Amino acid sequence: MDYPHQRMAAAAHDRAGLRRSDEAWLEERWADPETRVLVIAGTRVRPVDGALAWVSAAEAPEGLRVLLGERDGRSWFAVITRAEGASIDAGWFPLRGLLPHLADQEIAAAPLVFHALGIAEWIFATRFCPRCGGGLEVQKSGHEMVCTACGKSQFPRTDPAVIMIVAAGEPGAEDERCLLGRQAIWPEGRYSTLAGFCEPGETLEDAVRREVLEETGVLVGAVEYFGNQPWPLPASLMLGFLGRAESTEITVDHDEIEDARWFTRAEMKAEAEAGTLVLPGGVSISRSLVEHWYGGPLPGHW
Answer yes or no: do 46 and 99 share one domain: yes
Query: What Cα–Cα distance (Å) separates residue 39 from each residue in 88, 103, 222?
Result: 15, 20, 45
Question: How many Cα neighbours within 13 Å face the side chain of 213?
Answer: 10
Last residue of a domain, one of 157, 177, 198: 157
Q: Which residues contact 254 (CB under 8 A, 6 or more apart)?
A: none
Q: Are residues 139 and 206 in the same domain?
A: no
Residue range(s) defining the domain that contains residue 88: 4-125
pLDDT of amino acid 102: 60
Within a 10 A sphere around the Cβ of 57, how many other Cβ atoms? Answer: 18
Tell whether 224 is covered by a domain.
yes
Render pLDDT for 134-192 as a digit per residue (tens, 0 to 9): 999 999 999 999 999 999 999 998 999 999 999 999 999 999 999 999 999 999 999 99
Residue 1, CB-side half-sphere exposure with 13 Å CA sphere: 15
Tell whether 188 and 253 lie within a shared domain: yes
Verify that 178 and 131 share a domain, yes or no. no
Q: Which of 112, 140, 157 is the last residue of a domain?
A: 157
Residue 196 confidence (pLDDT) above 60: yes
- Residue from 293, 272, 250, 291 nearest 190 by CA: 272
- Please tell me the pTM assigned to this model: 0.89
- Cα of first residue to Cα of last residue in the chain, in angstroms, is 22
Amino acid at 29: R
91 plus 115 within the same structural domain: yes
Q: What is the pLDDT of residues 15-73, one digit of tens each?
A: 999 999 999 999 999 999 999 999 999 999 988 776 788 999 999 999 999 999 999 99
Pair 133, 112 in one domain: no
The pLDDT value recorded for residue 5 is 73
Which candidate, 163, 155, 154, places its Cα nearest to that of 131? 154
Asked if 73 and 183 sit in the same domain, the reply is no
